[in-house]
Amino acid sequence: MGLLGSLAMLLSVLCILCLPGLRAESHGASIDLARARSLDVLLQDYAYRAFNRPRTGIAYDGKVPSNLTGITISAMRLRRGSLRRRGVNAYKEFDIPTGVVVEPYVERLVLVYQNLGNWSAVYYPLPGYSYLAPVVGLLSYDASNLSATNLPELGLTATGPPISISFSGVRSVPGGSTARCVMFDLQGMTIFSNVSFGNVCSSIEQGHFGIVIESTAPSPAPVLPPPPSPTPAPSSSKSGQKNDNKKWWKIVGSSFGSLIVLSLLLMLVLWVQKYMQRKDLEEMENISEFEEALQICRIGATFAPMARSTRTPPVLESEIVP
């Protein structure tokens, strides 16, 4: 039973890994996680600076340093209980459903939105892939002190429907390629999933998201073939000999197959003949059992059949003893 249980567990894991949208690949080596996390710290500081007498549930766009032009940020303060009961509809590209759990416990939190624009491939490079849309991020922080910096992220997990990310301005997919959703979690893991209709990706947790396709490597420069061999004749004769050999084997094969078919037909004819002879013999034996042959006797100059004597000879009435 231990072996069967191990096999069943292995099959279950393989089935889960083969399901679309659940295949994860780690590209931590290609992403400078420390650099990406330092950018999150900087953008959290500048996003909090956008609050000026903030109102709950209102998005406030922030400004980034001049050396990061092209990146856009926004911040929204929410109550933890309200986020879980109501969710957030259309916060930039993000739709947050009801049932989202925030850990550890805080009374209020801030959702910081990031759009990395043309910096997407700089902070989140993916060798072998090209971005069809900029990387966008959603991170949650404690809102008890809106002037705090270097805050750790809170845990944000969807326990019901997943968080959906609707990308706009997605470049068209080249023919023969397939667009994929990509997610970068806070530990540097890269997770690929399928793109839903309308360029929508889904996730059960916070992080950074994008749409990519596999990039085709440039074709290598053509290599000039070596000069032709001065004796090409043997190769042609060899090829001709190979063709002759193939034809000969085809003829032999067809002849052998015809011989087998004829042998089977002959065996069938012999079997039918023997079967008919056996049936005739059985009929003659049946006739001999049920019919009695008459004896031939001579009466004068004539030969005529004569029945055998009866088994019970007649008895005169006078011979019957009373």
- List the CATH number of the domain containing 142: 2.60.220
Residue 296 in domain: no
Domain that holds residue 63: 19-214
Domain count, the chain: 1
Could you tell me what percent of the chain has a pLDDT over 90? 53
Residue 293 in domain: no
Residue 142 in domain: yes
Cα 268 to chain centroid, rounded:
51
Residue 47 has pLDDT above 60, yes or no: yes
What does the alpha-carbon distance between residue 62 and residue 112 come to, in Å, rounded to a whole number?
A: 10
Residue 220 has pLDDT above 70, yes or no: no
Residue 291 in domain: no
Residue 284 in domain: no
Residue 127 has pLDDT above 70, yes or no: yes
Look at residue 2 in the predicted model and tell me its pLDDT.
Answer: 44
Residue 275 in domain: no
Phi then psi for 141, rounded to 5 degrees?
-140, 165
Residue 297 in domain: no
Residue 76 in domain: yes
The pTM of the full predicted model, rounded to 2 decimals, is: 0.60
Give the burial class of 219: count Cβ atoms within 10 A of its Cβ; 0-12 exposed, 13-18 middle, 19 or more buried. exposed
Task: Give the pLDDT band of residue 307 (cuts 50, 70, 90).
Answer: low
Task: Give the pLDDT band of residue 264 (cuts 50, 70, 90).
Answer: confident
Q: Average pLDDT, whole number, for the chain?
A: 80
Look at residue 1 in the predicted model and tell me its pLDDT.
Answer: 42
